[in-house]
């Protein structure tokens, strides 16, 4: 399972993860809200990001109508159909025939049947400022994704969870998903813990990634600090090399 913050997508690394998915090294993507926003904007418009400092005080920051309305509509669909936010966003990109969907984790995973969960805290993302945003719909959709993540973690015994670029939201969500799985296992009389290897790649080392990703839930872990644009390509090559797939690395 691959968890990621927004900067990973913002700097253009989604194609590397899409390649790993197509080669069988991704069983699910776990995204925070900003990662999903950047991913959807790339799919729809071919670019993402805005000048936060330049727009913070002139009424323009976070007020892109297209992005906010797209997420609001997807949340309403998720509420109506009883699905998670990641599923709803991926399906919406496919239905919109997004012109750059081949660069999108949400869209390519939806097409491949690979689960994507999106985890938001209401108020952390620009799309929550949009007048069409329905907090109840967003909350229900992201809660369904939390339950789906717990189901994915349940099957992660002897598997790997990699956290790339999320310092707070995903480390907290991941640890709670691990706890939920073990609560259920104990209720069923299963005392053995999941044997999960975890990794953390980020530009800085943080408390929650160290404790909630590398230490508490894992039987083994690795922590590498540096720029995503360097670390993620190197990790991809290391995976392909270890699997004997270097011929597919280009």
pLDDT for residue 245? 60
Cβ–Cβ < 8 Å for 102, 22: no
If pLDDT is split at 50, 70 and 90, which confidence band does 246 have?
A: low
Intra-chain end-to-end CA distance of the chain, in Å: 23
Beta partners for residue 183, in sequence order: none
Which stretches within the chain are classed as H helix? 6-10, 14-22, 33-45, 52-55, 65-81, 85-95, 105-112, 135-154, 169-187, 207-208, 228-242
Checking if the pLDDT of 250 tops 60, the result is: no
What pLDDT does 244 receive? 87
- Give 132-175 pLDDT, tens digit per residue: 999 999 999 999 999 999 999 999 999 999 999 999 999 999 99
pLDDT at site 50: 86
What is the overall mean pLDDT for the chain? 96
- On whether the CB atoms of residues 216 and 179 are closer than 8 A, the answer is no
Taking the C-alpha atoms of residue 211 and residue 92, their distance in angstroms, rounded to an integer, is 36
Classify burial at 54, counting beta carbons within 10 Å of its beta carbon; exposed 0-12, middle 13-18, buried 19 or more: exposed
For residues 88 and 138, the answer to whether their CB atoms sit within 8 Å is: no
User: Residue 32: beta bridge partners?
Assistant: 119
Cα 35 to Cα 28, 41, 90, 110, 119, distances in angstroms: 14, 10, 13, 16, 10
Average pLDDT over residues 9-37: 97
């Amino acid at each position: 399972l691959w968890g990621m913050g927004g900067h990973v997508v913002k700097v253009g690394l989604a194609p590397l993860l899409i390649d790993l998915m197509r080669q069988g090294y991704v069983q699910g993507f776990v995204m925070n809200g900003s990662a999903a926003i950047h991913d959807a904007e790339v799919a729809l418009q071919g670019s993402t990001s805005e000048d936060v400092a330049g727009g913070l005080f002139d009424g323009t920051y976070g007020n892109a109508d297209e992005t906010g309305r797209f997420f609001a509509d997807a949340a309403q669909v998720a509420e109506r159909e009883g699905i998670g936010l990641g599923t709803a966003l991926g399906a919406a990109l496919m239905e919109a025939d997004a012109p750059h969907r081949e660069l999108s984790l949400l869209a390519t995973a939806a097409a491949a049947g690979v689960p994507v969960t999106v985890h938001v805290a209401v108020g952390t993302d620009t799309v929550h400022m949009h007048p069409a945003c329905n907090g109840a719909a967003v909350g229900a959709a992201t809660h369904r994704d939390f339950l789906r993540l717990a189901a994915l973690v349940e099957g992660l015994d002897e598997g790997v969870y990699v956290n790339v670029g999320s310092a707070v939201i995903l480390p907290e969500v991941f640890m709670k998903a691990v706890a939920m799985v073990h609560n259920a296992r104990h209720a069923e009389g299963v005392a053995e813990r999941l044997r999960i290897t975890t990794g953390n790649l980020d530009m800085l080392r943080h408390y929650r990634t160290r404790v909630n990703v590398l230490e508490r839930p894992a039987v083994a872990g690795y922590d590498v600090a540096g720029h995503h644009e360097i670390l993620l390509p190197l990790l991809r090559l290391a995976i392909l090399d270890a699997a004997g797939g270097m011929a597919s690395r280009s």
